[in-house]
Chain A
Amino acid sequence: MSLGSPTMSKYFKILRISLMERLVYRADFFVATLFRFLPLLTTFLLWEAVFAGSAEKEIAGFSRDRMIAYLLMVQVSRMFSSMPGLATGIARDIRDGNLKKYLLQPIDMLWYLLSYRGAHKLAYIATVALPYGLLFFACHSVFESFPLGWTLAAYLISLLLAFVIGFFFEASIGLAGFWLLDVTSLMYILNIVTFFVSGQLFPLDLLGPVPMKVLSYLPFQYLAYFPAMVFLEMTTGEELAWGLTIELAWATAFVVLSRWLYRLGLRHYSAYGG
């Protein structure tokens, strides 16, 4: 199966222009960034209450500090893996006929959107760097150590793959729009499921060994839980290698799936609609 033939410079340029577009709305940008801190705050307060009301010092291997460190790192994972509006955007392009531009011009939709999304992520990360930096500084005592060397490398790889899985997973859902009129409700359900089983609300260790084992074979935990655990050096050694292998497998699977859906979808679109 062909993955298209991206000329890097072409898609890099798209990334640059997308970045400029993104920066047009500065105010929107800052307000959105600020509001993203609110859910984090409520999750903190929730866990504060849990620990305050519990006689145990640790819950499923997490002390209070560890829990806060975990919740912070999960935010960083999601910064890379969440793709708000991607699936619904693709579905809308298909429904409204904006898909045309990808068919008329010598350009590949998925590579184009990947560049576009990459630009948004870069812009977002650049803007939140300061507030997040302050937050991490304020909470620095909850971190026992900062990973170095191979652990850091493994962490960065896990983040990159989280981005790839996040992107191509949502893109695949969006491409279902070739056959479904609306993917909003599908996406809504998946978002709720993802929120829990990716480990965004609590470490998956709380679920017990069997569900954890099952989830380790599914893609969700690689969007949030896994990179965080790698950073905190709670997933190490063989477990880490195995995790990265499964993450890579899922990333590849979603790339292939989305390419396949795109090709099939175009055939369907060209035959029935336009």
Chain B
Amino acid sequence: MPIIEASGLSKTYRVYQKKEGLLGALRGLFRREYKEVRAVEDVSFHIESGEIVGFLGPNGAGKTTTLKMLSGLIYPTAGTARVLGHIPWQREDAFRRQFALVMGQKNQLWWDLPASDSFQLHREIYSLQRESFERTLGELIDLFAVKELTRQPVRELSLGERMKMELIAALLHQPKLLLLDEPTIGLDVVAQATIQKCLREYNTVRGVTMLLTSHYMRDVEALCRRVLVITHGKMLYDGPLAGIVEQFGQAKLLKLHFAEDAPDDLGRFGEVTQRKGPVAELRVERSRVSEALAAILDQYTVVDMSVQDPPLDQVIARVFEDNRVESGAV
């Protein structure tokens, strides 16, 4: 049975359009105009037990709205979802005991108390048996390597340490599903890597299913084999991470090392992204790669060369941008 089954999920918000100025504000007291915003449109997917799935999309694409529907915070306007066998927005206790939502920008821990007090509170909230709670907590403290830090008030921890504590708190009741919204936001590269490592290990050991959104491609590359790409509320892609480059990376990257200075008429083959001394980098349409290569090798002396896929984050940035332009025109 899939852990998450979403079919045709849609969410339309009504947003109050405030008129400019005082007069507009006064008018707003009597008659309000609303604009319909389609945050999520007809999104369907399945996630199986033990998967780690990345949820990608630019700001405002509908990722968080989808997570909110899956965690039962909001009702969809249309469509259905079953998460762990429950309809999430019915918010049954049995459902709430089996998953956790961690938002990188929100605090769940008590600011002025040591994290260990918040952990105790979680034990009470989820009515966990003392022994199994202590065991789980011990394991998590080892996994995240925070033994020295649990007695310090949370406000005195660094951002990365705090995030680890947030994750521990979220995992104490051993959820089967972990929804992560920007878990590494604002963290430095080292802290990001630690969080990634911990999540991966936890997934391997416990087989917990994870769905995470992130703006850092590093997170996604480190953790997810499968990604969902959503822009403007619509699902654009669902498949393996590498497939994104195949599907959306319409160009290849040609790296050329000439015997002499790189010629300045390379522009006729594609977009020159770099040209410095004998080295040049070219973006060439996939269909024209062999033709361009043949011409270059024919006309110049090339010492070294390589053909590469453009980096994933560049491809994704393009996908996001192209879609922005498209819908901007509508």
Contact = CB atoms under 8 A, between A and B. Distances in A.
Interface of A: 7, 9-10, 13-14, 17, 20-21, 24-25, 97-98, 100-101, 103-107, 269-274
B113 interface: yes
Interface string B71-115: 111110000000000000101010011001101001010101100
Nearest to B68: A274
A169 B96 CA distance: 29
A271 B121 contact: no
Contact of A17 (B14, B65, B108, B117): B117
B59 interface: no
Interface in B101-143: 101, 103, 106, 108, 110, 112-113, 117, 120-121, 124-127
Contact of B124 (A9, A103, A272, A274): A9
Contact of A13 (B13, B89, B91, B120): B120
A9 B120 CA distance: 12
A105 B108 CA distance: 11
B96 A24 contact: no
Given A17-B117, A21-B110, A105 B71 contact: no
Nearest to A12: B124
Contacts, number: 67
A100 B126 CA distance: 16
Given A10-B124, A271-B75, A101 B108 contact: yes
B91 A103 contact: yes
B125 A10 contact: yes
A61 to B, nearest CB: 48
A105 B126 CA distance: 8
Interface of B: 13-14, 65, 68, 71-75, 89, 91, 93, 96-97, 100-101, 103, 106, 108, 110, 112-113, 117, 120-121, 124-127, 153
**Pairs of residues from A and B, 5 with the lowest C-beta to C-beta distance, nearest first:** A13-B124, A274-B74, A106-B93, A106-B96, A24-B112
A105 B14 CA distance: 27
Contacts of A21: 110, 112-113, 117
B131 to A, nearest CB: 17
B73 A104 contact: yes
Given A103-B73, A104-B71, A274-B68, A17 B96 contact: no
29 contacts: A7-B127, A9-B124, A10-B124, A10-B127, A17-B110, A17-B117, A20-B113, A20-B117, A21-B110, A21-B112, A24-B112, A25-B112, A97-B106, A103-B72, A103-B73, A104-B100, A104-B101, A106-B93, A106-B96, A106-B97, A106-B126, A107-B125, A269-B74, A270-B89, A271-B74, A271-B75, A274-B68, A274-B73, A274-B74
B75 A105 contact: no
Nearest to B107: A98
A97 B120 CA distance: 24
Given A17-B117, A104-B71, A270-B75, 14 more contacts: A10-B125, A14-B125, A17-B113, A20-B113, A20-B117, A21-B110, A21-B113, A97-B106, A100-B101, A100-B103, A103-B72, A271-B74, A274-B65, A274-B73
A98 B109 CA distance: 12
Contacts of B68: 274
A177 B65 CA distance: 22
- Of B68, B73, B74, B93, the most chain A CB neighbours within 10 A belong to B73
Nearest to A267: B75
B73 A270 contact: yes
Contacts of B73: 100, 103-104, 270, 274
A270 B74 CA distance: 4
A14 B123 CA distance: 11
A105 B96 contact: yes
A261 B66 CA distance: 26
Contact of A273 (B74, B101, B110, B112): B74
A274 B124 CA distance: 26
Contacts of A107: 125
Contacts of A106: 93, 96-97, 125-127
Nearest to A105: B125
Contacts of A270: 73-75, 89
Contacts of A13: 120-121, 124
- Of A7, A24, A101, A103, the most chain B CB neighbours within 10 A belong to A103
Contacts of B91: 103
